[in-house]
Amino acid sequence: MNAIKEDLWAKAIFKLLDQIKVGRIDMKGPNGFEKSFGNDLSRTTEPALINIKNWKMFRSIILRGDIAFGETYIEGQWDTPDLNHLLWVIGQNRQPLNTAIRGFKFANILNRLRHLLNKNTKNQARDNIEAHYDLGNDFYRLWLDQSMTYSSAIRDEEKGNESDILEEAQRFKIKRAISRLGILDETSTTLEIGCGWGELSKIRLETHPGQHVGITLSQEQKSWTKKIIKDAGLDDRNSTLLQDYRDVSEQYDGIISIEMIEAVGKAYWGTFFETLKKSLKPNGRAVIQAITINEKLAGNYQAGVDFIQKYIFPGGMLMSKNQFTNLAEEHK
């Protein structure tokens, strides 16, 4: 306990944690150290627990924010029996913990510069996608559902508990997106930007006539998609291409893109919407599903770099709902 009293980095974190309003975080460390923050268990039955293994974690978190929070966890400087619950408590108290989440400004500038090196030019975009999606199909099969659908599912509220089955919720999401394109007939052509592992392509071809094209920058996804489409006997109406969205030259009756826009990067948001506009036939429709960020958080988030951008999705960036709506209006 004496050692931690002199640790200014830890004391700075403790001062922030003292402002917790929802839930409770208990800390335990070497030499019998114990400390609790917050005492509101009205929305949760258990406190979150952090086991400190190395006091240096506090210095790293103050300097580098949530990136260091993740890095020090990976390095074993701290652990927790329930990471999900700990992150829930932190999320509920984002405002008082904002300094720790954002980190020291100079360190954020360095991370931002590294992130800019991942700017999604055509060449860099392929490298960024390969870094994430070409880890191997066997890896993704370990934790995705049978359809290999890697985007947010949507529950069919009319089906109640049945819609809690992931495969059912994914299929509902896909069929809903396709239906929003309008009526498709034998002459209809559709494009999917970011076709993933092909489940939407397959369902679109199974349920509607016409031709379909899916594009991706991942060789692993292309190979998987072509196989499942061929196995379903639908390859005569489908093309799966290794292609950047900026290289689309044909026009289509409908375009679908499910959670691909997050990989575009802010500098190319306008280019993405311009591509949609020029690639749609008159009266054509585009259906876009996107992960958005809270309006109040968008400014700081888009000016910095978080753990996901550094380690999971290089070059990625979320937009707010208003940003999405404004871009869509500008390019309609």
How many domains is the chain built from?
Answer: 2
User: Is the same domain home to 189 and 68?
Assistant: no
**pTM of the full structure:** 0.85
Q: CATH no. for residue 207?
A: 3.40.50.150
pLDDT recorded at residue 300: 83
User: Is the same domain home to 186 and 299?
Assistant: yes
pLDDT recorded at residue 114: 56
Exposure string over 51-78, b if 16+ CB within 10 A, otherwise e: ebeebebbbbbbbbbbbbbbbbbeeebb
Radius of gyration of the CA atoms of the chain, in A: 23
**What tokens does 112 get?**
């931002």
User: Is the same domain home to 148 and 273?
Assistant: yes
User: Is the same domain home to 96 and 139?
Assistant: no
> Can you tell me the distance from the alpha carbon of 222 to that of 197, in angstroms, rounded to the nearest whole number?
7
pLDDT recorded at residue 109: 56
pLDDT recorded at residue 2: 43
Q: Which phi and psi (to 5°) does residue 234 adopt?
A: -115, 5
> Can you tell me the distance from the alpha carbon of 188 to that of 231, in angstroms, rounded to the nearest whole number?
23
Domain assignment of residue 99, given as a range: 2-103
DSSP at 134: T
pLDDT mean values, one per 10 residues, the chain (332 residues): 62 90 94 91 85 94 87 97 95 79 55 58 74 83 95 89 83 97 97 98 98 96 97 98 97 98 94 98 97 93 85 90 98 90
Residue at 113 is within a domain: no
pLDDT recorded at residue 5: 47
pLDDT recorded at residue 122: 77
> With contact defined as beta carbons under 8 Å apart, do 20 and 66 qualify?
no
Residue at 109 is within a domain: no
Residue at 108 is within a domain: no
Chain-centre distance of CA 194, in angstroms? 14
Q: What is the DSSP string of 50-97?
A: EEES-THHHHHHHHHHHHHHHHHHHTTSEE-S-HHHHHHHHHHTTTTT
User: Is the same domain home to 159 and 34?
Assistant: no
User: Is the same domain home to 143 and 96?
Assistant: no
pLDDT recorded at residue 116: 55
